[in-house]
Structure 1
Amino acid sequence: MMDLTITALLIAALFLMLGSGVWVGLALTGVAWIGMELFTSRAVGDAMAVTIWGSSSSWTLTALPLFIWMGEILFRTKLSEDMFKGLAPWLERLPGRLLHTNIIGCTIFAAVSGSSAATCATIGKMTLPELAKRGYPEHMALGTLAGAGTLGLMIPPSIIMIVYGVAANVSIAQLFIAGVMPGLLLASLFMGYTMVWALLNPGKIPPAGPAMSFVAKLKESRNLLPVVALIGAVLGSVYSGIATATESAALGVVGALIIAAVQGELRWRQFRDSLLGATRLYCMIALILAGAAFLTLSMGYMGLPRQLAGWISGLGLSQFQLIAALMVFFIVLGCFLDGISIVVLTMGVLLPTIEKAGIDLVWFGIFVVMVVEMAQITPPVGFNLFVLQGMTKKEITYLARHAMPMFLLMVFAVLLIYFVPGIVTWMPAQMAG
């Protein structure tokens, strides 16, 4: 009972701070400080300093600002326009037309970044201005981007899969391969929803351009060559083992600078603006990550996630009930913690229960990633919503409302992989066989 009271108090404090206009990262830090000061015997000052420094100086995180900078450079070149020119002829006949560039772009970039925030920020920088210019409805552009941006966690290489693989002692290579089909499934569901919405609201989508022959379409596709070459270089360097995610991000920045130079768009002003834009966006994300890391530590000291996980373990549920309860549990936790923190804090307690229930650990890893993806678009701590808010200055509630259909599609995808587990396990089984 005491734990519920403490949790309710902290949630109320967080909402109060966010409601009064305090920056999200500072609100998270403040709530963590209150919780630690009042409910634990640990000295707060040094814990806060060590945690915030540790989360800010993580080597894994260096890929994030580099990918954001790459997006900023591309945003200031003709590349975003070229991407539209190359994709448009092929998408003009699909219901929803160019709204699909968000989903296709995020699916492609997810295979490069491993971070949902970087995927959302980079593709958003390229697509949102173009879609607005062409008169596409803003709420659909933002909703599809918020949902598809989460694919950065599912499509390998994924940082959260590495964390889970280490925590659960599961092959990371198998997890990577298991994530491919669920990632493509989610992208297909998002595109299907966009098509249905467009068919139900035909007047809200700008009219199609003139019909083009197949040869003309191919000719327009040459505009995609710089994008494909850049993604090929970044992806190829990761998958061939030549470069780590951070090194490939640096390669992406160099590639983006070369493309900008070749297009004659690399002037001092564009270079400076891209650097400042990336710095601003990354500082916002880094402050939130630092606050989330300190809140995670604070909650860990109070023992809240462990007690909640232990309580679920003691309920004696059937396999389906356990998965349904865990889905709700992770979504609630995801409202206040980032995905990696959720995995680190709960796996130790939950894994014995999962194994006892006879659930495959590779399948469970993909389930966890999918549910954490949902948390990326649920307030108050939905990282993709924060990234979009930083880019568009829209209210979190507005963004969350229009991302809700994507959230419901993810719930459907979780049910689908539960009843058809082969979607997850077939490819790793082929590899093992």
Structure 2
Amino acid sequence: LGASFVARWRAERATLASSTPTQPSPPASRVELARRYLSSMTEDPELGPRWQREHRLEPLAAGDALPWQVAEGLEAAPNLPAQRVLIAVALGLQDRFEEADRLLGETSEALALRAELRAQARRHSEALALLEHAGDARAVRRERIQLYASQQDLTRALAEARALPVGDPLRAAIEGEARVRSLPDPEQRLRELEALLAAPASPAQAFRLRFDVAQVLLELRRYAELEDELERMHALRPDSPLIPFLRYLRYNTERNYPEVTRALDEGLAYERDPEQAAMLGWLRVQSLWLSGDKVRSRAAREALLREGPPAAGVIPLAAQISAVVQQPADALAFAEAGRANPALSPEGRWTCLRVSIEVLRASGAWAELRTLIEGLEGEPLPPDLFQTLAEAHAEATRALEGR
């Protein structure tokens, strides 16, 4: 059942991807998708109602199209009973992960599928944590590779893939992606990506390659082709927040802030990961401000602040955007919190430091600026930031001596 379904799914998606792009349809709700899975895959008249009753999933009309989550769930755990995979995916789409975990158990394929369900919900850190100590069974390793690749971390994906046998399709796929990504010429990258798309190793890789093609078209500013590519991505994953995010990047480059806001609103409708949603929320605060709608920008910022302190990964962006929307006290508070947060990457802490320097310079707080810079003695810093600090320190010293 699993193999035949994946084969049919690939054929349908290949037809969709090569056809003339159409206007995207609105995404179905997660609960509706879960119901569709059961109604479409359950042919046993007695078994189907029992599944739906036990797992509180109502059926829809038979014959509904099957979205991508089922195919990738079956691919992550090809030896588990298809019915069990189906129910687990349906539960995962409703964020009922503990119930899915109990249903699946602790085998290597079960762990791979449990991680896949979290990845589909864009909870990548949870998915990776689940597999971190799960050993190197084939299913676990393959799921780790897919997770790293979906996060654009091809360095770790490649390291894991090279432990697979030579000739393994997934290993060949990751090696091909890594080679193409390293090409400096965008036109050559585009040609190589199209060649890889002729025979993708999996639906997941097809979507990643489409995303890479879209990024190259964005880099080349070939926007009409970019829109066609986004429609092909939509055919593969109608609910992906990466599609509106690419539109955000396009319109942000053009400084078309009303369209930027519209793209961010669409992304927020799809996004399931709280940290990613918070980042989109802060970008929306900025786009509203830059479009001149300062009332809505302030309301959006206050709504984010009411949700409590942002996650570590969101702090640098919150600091930067607070400075843009003329909230220097908030910007300094976020930047200070980020510099003191051990969970933040060095790059994140450096971003927070840059925000502190910019805000203090703009406000003429020369004594505080010089104290901050002198307190950094001995810290490893990138050359461009070191140069910025040297210039700011000299400026602060001149201002204080001039007084």
Question: Relative contact order: is structure 1 or structure 2 higher (C-alpha 8 Å, sep ≥ 6)?
Answer: 1
Q: Which has the larger share of helix?
A: 1
Give the TM-score normalised by the residue count of structure 1: 0.27
Q: Which has the larger radius of gyration?
A: 2
Give the TM-score normalised by the residue count of structure 2: 0.28
